[in-house]
A and B are shown apart, each in its own frame.
Chain A
Amino acid sequence: RKEVEQDPGPFNVPEGATVAFNCTYSNSASQSFFWYRQDCRKEPKLLMSVYSSGNEDGRFTAQLNRASQYISLLIRDSKLSDSATYLCVVNDGRGGFKTIFGAGTRLFVKA
């Protein structure tokens, strides 16, 4: 089992749609969780941290379920500019807090 697994993509949605991504992690002792966004041929950029209590930033909502070891990202009212790869990132907590990236889920938002 991979340490961090994400929904396989790509997701193709129309503008205005709501889309949800899921991510599971294997190490129950993982310490911290993040969603990053990466545009084509650009560097990853932190989208939001994921807290046990949930985290909302405008159209984006992230949730953590420690019991089931999964993280989710919900995007409401999708915009064309949301088209990107979304990377789930887990800080493993072992061996000096190793940061592990999921394979990423590609999102295409179409007009």
Chain B
Amino acid sequence: DTEVTQTPKHLVMGMTNKKSLKCEQHMGHRAMYWYKQKAKKPPELMFVYSYEKLSINESVPSRFSPECPNSSLLNLHLHALQPEDSALYLCASSQEQVNPEAFFGQGTRLTVV
């Protein structure tokens, strides 16, 4: 069983909606990640938080807004998405950013209509 929990598992949203994806881990990891994965493609890194501070933003459009309220939680706020943003969104955590043996959550399958 994964120790990184993501909710919701599935999400369908309209282009004018605002929604949030949530991720939680209780392994004491200090690095947390958001990835986007399209079908038959590898995960693409979006954001990295290290010790609750944004460490890496891979030039992600501002319609995706990450938030790290505490060391166990990571959110991804979504607003005015496009149909091409439909994908599997994966959260991961690792002990430290410099030691990225990561555990992934099961992902949120997002469909933008």
Contact = CB atoms under 8 A, between A and B. Distances in A.
B104 A97 contact: no
Interface stretch (B38-46, B62-70, B74-82): B38-46
Nearest to A43: B104
Which 7 pairs between the two chains have the least Cβ-Cβ distance? A101-B42, A43-B104, A96-B55, A99-B100, A96-B56, A97-B97, A91-B100
Interface footprint category on B: 20 to 34
Interface string B74-113: 0000000000000000100000011111111111000000
Contact of B107 (A43, A91, A100, A104): A43
B97 A101 contact: no
A89 B33 CA distance: 15
Interface string A42-61: 11111001000000000000
